[in-house]
Chain A
Amino acid sequence: TQLLEQSPQFLSIQEGENLTVYCNSSSVFSSLQWYRQEPGEGPVLLVTVVTGGEVKKLKRLTFQFGDARKDSSLHITAAQPGDTGLYLCAGGGGSNYKLTFGKGTLLTVNP
């Protein structure tokens, strides 16, 4: 069974601070996706990484896929209250048509 562990589980910071959240597994994934979910809504895809060592930037968000494709990180620079939400990572593998989700990091950015 493929499992994804996300850390920290909860994170509360002040506006303007930087933060990094992690997504780790003992399994290799063909792809790794990051989603953000806000209360009362479904998750929204932020990025998909597929190559070991890949780094993608989306404005103030930087995503990295580990060289061995077993882990990933999300770094947010100068966090804003609008970044508040549940950040989920999800791994996909091979011909398997399902995504395995981590339990998420609940981020609160205080003004």
Chain B
Amino acid sequence: KAGVTQTPRYLIKTRGQQVTLSCSPISGHRSVSWYQQTPGQGLQFLFEYFSETQRNKGNFPGRFSGRQFSNSRSEMNVSTLELGDSALYLCASSREGGAFNEQFFGPGTRLTVL
């Protein structure tokens, strides 16, 4: 069974630009969550999608948005990039989401904002 895939793996952007990251969950998984990981703040929850609906959202500004398609693939978008957005962005999928379901993480997209 293929794991969670994220594209691209590495990305370099400049301040003010926007970026779109992609996540393909494990086949059969309907829940996709996104996290931002930085050395100072650790893993912080961005949002979670289930069957194309956003079920929960973390405390991030509106510049961070996401969506999920009917095949469960998900994208997240960051507009007007800031230096502080440099981070590892992780996507995780699970069958149903929630506190008791195992999440499978992808390898992440390393975003550097110059």
Contacts and interface: CB of A to CB of B under 8 A. Distances in A.
Interface in A82-111: 88, 90-104
Given A97-B56, A99-B45, A42 B102 contact: no
B42 A102 contact: yes
Cβ-closest 6 pairs across A and B: A92-B99, A42-B105, A103-B42, A101-B43, A98-B45, A97-B56
Given A40-B107, A42-B105, A103-B41, A96 B90 contact: no
Interface residues of B, number: 27
Interface in B32-61: 33, 35, 41-45, 48, 50, 55-56, 58
Contacts of A50: 100
B25 interface: no
B43 to A, nearest CB: 4
A74 B33 CA distance: 25
Contact of A45 (B31, B42, B99, B103): B103
Contacts of A90: 43
A92 B90 contact: no
Interface centre among A90, A102, A103 (most CB of B within 10 A): A103
21 contacts: A29-B99, A30-B100, A31-B100, A41-B108, A42-B108, A45-B102, A45-B104, A48-B102, A90-B43, A92-B99, A93-B99, A94-B99, A96-B56, A96-B99, A97-B48, A99-B103, A100-B45, A101-B42, A103-B41, A103-B43, A104-B42
Contacts of A97: 31, 33, 48, 50, 55-56, 97-99
Contacts of A88: 42-43
A98 B42 contact: no
B100 A92 contact: yes
A99 B4 CA distance: 18
A43 interface: yes
A56 B33 CA distance: 26
Contacts of A92: 98-100
Interface string B77-114: 00000000000001010000111101111111000000
